[in-house]
Amino acid sequence: MISENIQRVFVKPDDTATISCPKCQLAKTVEVGKFRTTRHTITARCTCGHSFPVSLDFRKCYRKETALPGTYETRASKVADKHGKKTKLTGTYSMQAPAFGDGHMLITNLSCGGLQFTTSGNHSIEVGQKAQISFTLDDRKKSNIKKNIIVQSVAGNIIGCRFADNETLEQGLRFYLFP
C-alpha cells in the first residue's frame, strides 16, 4: 500500500469542513464539530470507495508555515514611581523591569492573529512582554511589515506571539495569508 500525505482541512466557524477525494476529486462539505474535543485526524471514505486520512484544523485563523527573516525589539515594562517605592520601612527599594533587547529572528509561521518565531542564541524575552517586529514578506511586492506584538509563550528559542489589540492587518499581509 502506498503511503499517502494527510490532507489538511480547515474547519469553518459553523463546524463544517469541505473535504475532497484525492482520487476522484469529489468535494463534500461535512459536519465535523463532534471531533473538536476528541480527535483531529480522521479517515474519510469517498463514494468512489477510496479512503484517505484527513487532518482537521480547528484554529480561528489560518496559519501559514513560513521562513521569513526579520528583527525584533523588546521593550521593558513600565513600573510606576520611576522604579522606586516608599515603604513604612526605612529606605526605598527598586523594582526591576523585565529585560529588553533586540535581535534577529526567523518567523516560522504566521496567522491573522499572531506569529511564531525562533531566535538564534540567547535572549531575555519573557511572556507578557511587548515588542516590535519587522520583516519582509516573500510576496511579489516584497511588502515590508512592522507590527507590535505581545509574547504569549516562550519555549527555549521558540517564541509565540499575538498581535497587539490595536494592530490592524495591512492589505499585503491579509492577501499573503489567504489560503
133 within 8 A of 105, measured Cβ to Cβ: yes
Task: Give the residue among 179, 162, 147, 151 at the shortest CA–CA distance from 113.
Answer: 162
| pLDDT computed for residue 132 by the predictor | 92
Q: Give the model confidence (pLDDT) of 28-78 as tens digits.
A: 999 998 888 887 889 999 999 999 999 888 877 778 889 999 999 987 654
Q: Give the model confidence (pLDDT) of 128-159 as tens digits.
A: 999 999 999 988 889 899 999 999 999 999 99
Q: Structural domains in the chain? A: 7-57 (no CATH), 63-177 (2.40.10.220)
Task: Give the residue among 60, 65, 62, 11 at the shortest CA–CA distance from 178.
Answer: 62
The full DSSP string for the chain is ----PPEEEEPPTTSEEEEE-TTT--EEEEE-GGGTTT-SEEEEE-TTS-EEEEEEE--SS-EEEEEEEEEEEE-PPP-TGGGEEE-SSSSEEE-PPPP--EEEEEEEEEESSEEEEEESS-----TT-EEEEEEE--STT--EEEEEEEEEEEETTEEEEEE-TT----HHHHHHH--
| pLDDT computed for residue 45 by the predictor | 93
Query: CA quadruple 59, 64, 66, 71: dihedral positive or negative?
Result: negative
